[in-house]
Structure 1
Amino acid sequence: MKHFYESLKCVYGPTTSGTSPLLGADGSLITKKNEILERWAEHFDSVLNRPSDINDEAIQRLPQVPINHALDTPPTEEEVVIATRQMLTGKAPGSDAITAEVFKSGGRYLILKQTELFQELWQSETLPQDFKDATIVHIYKRKGNKQSCDNH
């Protein structure tokens, strides 16, 4: 068995661990892990937080529609049931490690507890930080320099 794994390592190469070097915004090579993480944060901040290109005059010219007050009602149990049915199965779970299958097989009690939670959040007009947090994963496009953030 030992020779089998050694053979695989020869064919596929050693497994890489750690963080790959990355090019800084100025083109310099970054090798320290904390600096690489800071560079990724800087890159995603610049990509995801761009100023709006929408012209304010164009917005003012849009026709105004009446406010739909029906949208200002707390979520109902039926809406939670519908949303749960629409969840896709067979997908990777989020950071909470709960799959859609768990919600779909949770039954009436889970639906009631979810409805209570959503209604409480609606009334308090707040969301827990866990609901706001996201995990961003960079995936190399296999084109261009792997050390450039723009190729991920």
Structure 2
Amino acid sequence: MEKDYRTALGKFWQTVRRLRRGKQLSANTVYSRGGELLASTGDIVGRWKEYFEDLLNPTDTPSVEEPEAEDSEVDSFITQAEVTEVVQQLLGGKAPGVDEIRPEYLKSLDVVGLSWLTHLCNIAWRSGTVPLDWATGVVVPLYKKGDRRMCSNYRGITLLSLPGKVYSRVLERRVRPLVKP
């Protein structure tokens, strides 16, 4: 597992160097909402925070009526078979979340490891809460095109915890048949 980690880390930095070649930013600046050029790290981070909060937290969201829940397999314990199936379908080579757990690590789990992951999912399911790392995402802005100093010329991707993704996907598979297309 340690060898896989070192290999993945090496590939990560190799990719970063390859992507940065020829695409160096002329300046580490962004425009404020009012069009003022921001240069200090604190102001730039604040602008990115403001931009993604506005983008991801709209004020005019429609209300959705929740259907009445039926007693079914949705409420039952999460099985190891469900977790195993989701883990096997994870794509390798993806970036980890804040917990630094990579898809390859989960795919290499044996029966005991999958049992522990299933147990963690069941604790989260029964308690209605998830570990902090599962709920924490790192938003990374990816440049699209246009002026690099304008936040709107980037799209954000969120790097999430892989065990949290497994848990979410298990729940999504249970709920999907209940939702009308």
TM-score with structure 1 setting the length: 0.75
- Do the aligned partners of 2:97 and 2:137 also contact (CA within 8 Å) in 1? no
SS for the counterpart of 1:137 is strand
Secondary structure class of the residue paired with 2:93: coil
**CA distance in 2: counterparts of 1:76 and 1:50, whole angstroms:** 36
Question: Of Structure 1 and Structure 2, which has the larger fraction of its residues in strand?
Answer: 2
Percent identity of paired positions between Structure 1 and Structure 2: 30
Q: Hey, what's the Cα distance between the residues in 2 that align with 1:95 and 1:39?
A: 22
Alignment RMSD (CA, Å): 2.6
Q: Specify whether residues 35 and 110 from structure 1 end up closer, same or farther in structure 2 by C-alpha distance, changes over 3 A only.
A: same
Residue in structure 2 matched with residue 51 of structure 1 by the alignment: 59
Instruction: Within 5 Å, give how 1:134-149 maps onto structure 2.
Output: 134-143=137-146, 145-149=147-151
Describe how 1:57-76 pairs up with structure 2 within 5 A. Answer: 67-70=69-72, 71-76=74-79
Q: How many Å separate the matches in 2 of 1:115 and 1:72? A: 15
Matches within 5 A, 1:80-99: 80-99=83-102
For residue 33 of structure 2, the aligned residue among 25, 28, 43 is 25
Max radius of gyration: which structure? 1
- Give the unaligned 5+ runs of structure 1: 1-11
Q: How many residues matched?
A: 133
Query: Is the CA contact (8 Å cut-off) linking 2:98 and 2:133 kept in structure 1?
Result: no
Q: Distance in 1 between matches of 2:122 and 2:37?
A: 50
Once residues 36 and 25 of structure 2 are traced to their aligned partners in structure 1, the CA distance between those partners, rounded to angstroms, is: 22
Q: Aligned in 2, Cα 1:24/1:53: closer, same or farther, shift over 3 Å?
A: same
**Runs of 4+ with deviation above 4 angstroms:** none
